[in-house]
Amino acid sequence: MVARPGATPGLTIVNMAEPARRPGRPRDTSIDDRALAATRELLVERGFEATTIQAVAARSGVHASAIYRRWSSRIELIEEATFPGFSPLAVQPTGDLRRDLRRFVRAYAAAFDAPAARAAGAGLIAHHQATNQRNPPELYLRVSTRPQFQDILRAAPPGSIDPDIDPDDVFDMLLGAILARTVLSTVTTRSRPLERTVEMILRLLQPQTSTCASA
C-alpha cells in the first residue's frame, strides 16, 4: 500500500492497483507526480481538448516518451490525474451504515467537484460513448469507487440491507446523482443538500416490508 498526498481529510489513502514492476532501476515517482499535476493544471487552464501528451510534457518537463511508458493514452492520463481519489481514496468501513455512506458520498462528490474533474468530466464521458471501449481492469481499479461502496455494504449490520437489492444498481443511481450535481450542474437548476442523496441511498438499501392491501 502506498500513501498519496492531497487526500480528502478523514479518508484513508490506499493504492490498490500498483502494477508489478520489472527488476531494475526503481521507478522515479516524481515523474508521475509532475505529469499528473501538469495534467490537472492544463485541464483547468486550457480545457479537455488542449490537454495533450505534448502539452503535459512541455508543462511538466517530463519527456513525452516517459509519459507514454506510464500511460498508454492521454485519456488514461487524464482519468488518473482527474480522479486520483477513486482507487486511492477508500473510506474504511466501520459497520455504521449511515455514517459510512455519508463519508463515502461526501468524498465521492468532492472528487467530481474538483476543478480538474469539472473540466474533464464531459470530455471523458463523450470519449467513452464514442469509442465504446472498456477500460483495462487495472485502470478500472484505479479510477472506480464501486469496490469501496460494496465494502461498506458488506460491513453493514445483518438485516440492515434488503437482500434482493442489487448494489450495482444502487451505485449507478448514486453516480447519476453525483454527475447531476457536478458535471451537469450548468444544465440543471436543482440544488439540494448532499444529505438528501445519502437519505435516498439509505432508503433504497433498507429492507422492504411487505404490506397487504385490504379488499
CATH of the domain at 165: 1.10.357.10
Residue of 54 and 82 predicted with greater confidence = 54
Query: Is 145 within a domain?
Result: yes
Residue numbers of the domain that contains 120: 12-17+29-205
Query: Is 211 within a domain?
Result: no
Q: What is the pLDDT of residues 110-162, one digit of tens each?
A: 888 889 988 998 898 888 888 766 655 445 545 578 888 999 999 999 999 99
Query: Is 102 within a domain?
Result: yes
pLDDT exceeds cutoff 70 at 3? no
Whole-number Å distance between alpha carbons of 49 and 152: 36
Q: What is the pLDDT of residues 22-76, one digit of tens each?
A: 555 566 789 999 999 999 999 999 999 999 999 999 999 999 999 999 999 999 9
Average pLDDT over residues 174-197: 77
Q: What is the pTM of this model?
A: 0.69
Whole-number Å distance between alpha carbons of 158 and 95: 10
How many folded domains does the chain comprise? 1
C-alpha distances (whole Å) from 1 to each of 13, 15, 58, 77, 196 are 9, 5, 31, 21, 34
C-alpha distances (whole Å) from 72 to each of 64, 66, 118, 159, 190 are 11, 11, 23, 45, 38
Query: Is 214 within a domain?
Result: no
Average pLDDT over residues 181-185: 72
pLDDT exceeds cutoff 80 at 208? yes
